[in-house]
């Protein structure tokens, strides 16, 4: 049985949990605990990772009420386990399964699956598959922590992570970027066997650093890392629990940053760190963090929503500062529908701290910026039309082999997989998807806005090409949400804090948002991605 088949069967086993009151949000948490125990047995790591008497065979030897009681004590035992990473993974972990018969059925059916010759890498791939299944379930809300894997794969392929580089994700989610970077390095070093012992040890213990705000998400990320043999160098593991926009983020540094920061505005209490340009916009704060955290010559690829490209005031200052201190060489305009929130428009910024010739340069580092439009006149992606690796092939070819965007480039690209029907075949500047814009143009013609587009939008002129109604509604909702967030910040800036809070509470009541949901899953003014 291959990994995809196992993932499908594991996910199917959870169907019966819904009748027992287990939500979509807890599916992966339950499976993660059981899959970890099974992995330790299958790979012979029980003596290394698990205390005697609290292993898979001990769990399967019981059933019914006795098994349910033992399972709860097992989770409690691993919470205080001597192995630091195991303890971090199971910290405050409980089961939401209340019916012993359902737990017995789940464990029994899991034990019957064909685990023959499944190694640690197989379990890592299965776990990634479960995370993707969970993200694809719109009811689970897990998509906010899950960046599409074809996008991650394309970004990592272009950024070419190298051995002994410190690779950071300040908004780690389930650690997708770090896992893919690790896979890339292993694929190019004979699974680290081509490295010296010191370099191989560095890759396992020090190369990858992530910071995640939500404890449950961090738990999923820690297990993901451990299943892929990324251990970390201290008791926190590779993924630390903390807030990048507080003093926690000041401790980070990196040669390479790969990240998809959370969307939307944040409460002022969540941004306690002093940035050069104070703002309540989380992405703009994350952008400042990334520029600060990069070592001279370091590089970054960051997924950001459209508003970061054009927001005025502090947004303009932050973009200008970015182009001074870094060479912003490439922008990828992503298609709509690839993230959990319908209508959210996103981009990837590729930049290097300093310049290729002078990593320590901190003024006028950006001379020109190449823009690839993968959005205009493209199909809308979603569950019925999935984004794949093939959709990025044209952009990867145009980008070139140099990670810092210094490969020879030529304007063009007139065919893109996923285009809607009826596009003009005429080749010229106004129909090319790949164009370059000088720093002078961005400054003088765009007022330092990076919202650069030129293709004629057929969807706006041809009713036959309009997106699905839910996408149109999502786009409208996204624009309204963004506008409300800006109005909220404006009222605060004008000193009308009480009125701003009152209006926000009225909106939250209208949408039946609870305080817990606002803290963990994003407020009406923005949600984590």
Burial class (CB in 10 A: 0-12, 13-18, 19+), 150: middle
Residue 502 and residue 454 in one domain: no
Among 90, 111, 134, which residue terminates a domain?
A: 134
| 183 occurs within a structural domain | yes
Q: How many domains, the chain? A: 3
Lowest mean pLDDT among 232-236, 373-377, 474-478: 474-478
Residue 164 and residue 272 in one domain: yes
- Is residue 328 within 8 Å of residue 439, measured between CB atoms? no
Residue 96 and residue 167 in one domain: no
CA 429 to chain centre: 33
Residue 48 and residue 110 in one domain: yes
Residue 84 and residue 111 in one domain: yes
Q: Which two tokens stand for residue 394?
A: 């044209």
Percentage of the residues of the chain whose pLDDT score is greater than 70:
80
Q: Which two tokens stand for residue 284?
A: 């703009």
CATH number of the domain to which 99 belongs: 1.20.1260.30
Which residues have C-beta within 8 Å of that of residue 139, sequence separation ≥ 6? 24
- Is residue 53 within 8 Å of residue 90, measured between CB atoms? no
Burial class (CB in 10 A: 0-12, 13-18, 19+), 45: middle
| 346 occurs within a structural domain | yes
Question: For the segment 144-189, what is each residue's pLDDT rounded down to a tens digit?
Answer: 556 888 999 999 999 999 999 999 999 998 899 999 999 999 999 9
The overall pTM is greater than 0.75 = yes
CA distance 337 to 468: 11
Kindly list the distances between the CA atom of residue 110 and the CA atoms of 14, 84, 97, 106, 258, in Å, as whole numbers in the listed order.
11, 27, 16, 6, 35
Apex CA 387: angle with CA 141 and CA 191, to 5°? 90
Among 109, 134, 159, which residue terminates a domain?
A: 134
Reduced to 3 states, what is the DSSP secondary structure of residue 441?
helix
**Structure confidence at residue 269 (pLDDT):** 64
Residue 199 and residue 127 in one domain: no
Residue 309 and residue 440 in one domain: yes
Question: For the segment 390-404, what is each residue's pLDDT rounded down to a tens digit?
Answer: 999 999 999 999 999
| 335 occurs within a structural domain | yes
CA distance 504 to 399: 43
Give the residue numbers spanning the domain of 130.
Answer: 3-134
Among 134, 152, 178, which residue terminates a domain?
A: 134
**Structure confidence at residue 120 (pLDDT):** 66
Residue 252 and residue 123 in one domain: no
Q: Is pLDDT of 38 > 80?
A: yes
Mean per-residue pLDDT, 262-267: 64
| 149 occurs within a structural domain | yes
Burial class (CB in 10 A: 0-12, 13-18, 19+), 270: middle
Lowest mean pLDDT among 138-142, 303-307, 459-463, 524-528: 524-528
| 509 occurs within a structural domain | yes
CA distance 308 to 290: 14
CATH number of the domain to which 308 belongs: 3.40.50.150
Q: Is pLDDT of 432 > 50?
A: yes
Residue 447 and residue 365 in one domain: yes
Kindly list the distances between the CA atom of residue 506 and the CA atoms of 263, 376, 486, 501, in Å, as whole numbers in the listed order.
22, 36, 17, 9
| 28 occurs within a structural domain | yes
**Dihedral sign computed on CA atoms, order 325, 331, 336, 337:** negative
Residue 476 and residue 440 in one domain: no
**Structure confidence at residue 461 (pLDDT):** 42
Q: Hey, which bits of 166-207 come out as E strands?
A: 167-169
| 291 occurs within a structural domain | yes
Q: Which two tokens stand for residue 162?
A: 């190298």
Residue 32 and residue 171 in one domain: no
Reduced to 3 states, what is the DSSP secondary structure of residue 516?
helix
| 528 occurs within a structural domain | no
Question: For the segment 483-499, what is each residue's pLDDT rounded down to a tens digit?
Answer: 777 677 677 667 677 77
pLDDT band (50, 70, 90) for residue 84? confident
Residue 497 and residue 377 in one domain: no
Radius of gyration (C-alpha) of the chain in whole angstroms: 24
Angle at which helices 120-136 and 24-42 cross, to 10°:
170
């Amino acid at each position: 049985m291959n990994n995809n088949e196992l993932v499908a069967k594991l996910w199917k086993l959870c169907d019966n949990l819904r009748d027992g009151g287990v939500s979509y949000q807890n599916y992966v948490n339950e499976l993660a605990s059981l899959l970890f125990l099974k992995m330790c047995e299958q790979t012979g790591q029980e003596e290394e990772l698990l205390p005697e008497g609290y292993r898979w065979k001990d769990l399967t030897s019981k059933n019914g009420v006795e098994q349910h009681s033992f399972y709860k004590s097992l989770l409690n035992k691993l919470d205080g386990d001597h192995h630091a990473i195991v303890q971090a993974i199971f910290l405050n972990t409980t089961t939401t399964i209340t019916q012993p018969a359902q737990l017995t059925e789940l464990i029994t059916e899991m034990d019957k699956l064909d685990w023959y010759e499944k190694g640690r890498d197989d379990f890592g791939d299965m776990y990634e598959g479960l995370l993707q299944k969970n993200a694809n379930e719109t009811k689970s809300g897990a998509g906010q922590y899950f960046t599409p894997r074809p996008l991650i794969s394309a970004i990592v392929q272009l950024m070419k992570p190298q051995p002994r580089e410190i690779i950071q994700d300040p908004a780690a989610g389930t650690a997708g970027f770090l896992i893919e970077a690790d896979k890339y390095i292993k694929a190019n070093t004979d699974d680290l066997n081509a490295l010296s012992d010191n370099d191989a040890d560095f890759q396992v213990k020090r190369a990858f650093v992530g910071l995640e705000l939500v404890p449950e998400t961090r738990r999923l990320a820690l297990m993901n890392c451990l299943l892929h043999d990324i251990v970390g160098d201290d008791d926190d593991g590779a993924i630390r629990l903390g807030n990048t926009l507080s003093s926690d983020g000041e401790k980070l540094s990196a040669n390479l940053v790969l990240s998809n920061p959370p969307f939307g505005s944040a409460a002022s209490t969540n941004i306690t760190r002093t940035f050069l340009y104070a703002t309540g916009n989380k992405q703009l704060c994350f952008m400042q963090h990334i520029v600060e955290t990069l070592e001279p010559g370091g590089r970054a690829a960051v997924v950001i929503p459209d508003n970061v490209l054009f927001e005025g005031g502090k947004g303009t200052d932050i973009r200008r500062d970015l182009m001074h201190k870094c060479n912003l060489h490439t922008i990828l305009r992503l298609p709509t529908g690839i993230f959990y929130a319908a209508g959210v428009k996103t981009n990837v910024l590729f930049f290097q701290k300093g310049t290729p010739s002078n990593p320590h340069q901190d003024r006028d580092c950006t001379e020109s910026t190449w823009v690839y439009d993968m959005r205009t006149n493209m199909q809308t992606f979603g569950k019925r039309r999935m984004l794949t690796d093939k959709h990025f092939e044209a952009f990867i070819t145009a980008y070139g082999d140099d990670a810092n965007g210094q490969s020879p480039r030529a304007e063009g690209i007139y065919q893109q997989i996923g285009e809607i029907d009826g596009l003009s075949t005429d080749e010229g500047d106004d129909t090319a998807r790949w164009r370059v814009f000088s720093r002078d143009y961005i400054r003088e013609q765009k007022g330092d806005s990076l919202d650069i587009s030129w293709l004629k939008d057929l969807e706006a002129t041809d009713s036959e090409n309009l997106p699905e109604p839910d996408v149109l509604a999502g786009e409208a909702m996204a624009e309204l949400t963004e506008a409300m967030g800006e109005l909220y910040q404006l009222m605060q800036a004008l000193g009308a804090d009480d009125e701003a809070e009152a209006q926000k509470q009225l909106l939250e009541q209208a949408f039946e948002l609870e305080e817990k949901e606002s803290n963990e899953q994003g407020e009406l003014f923005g949600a984590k991605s």
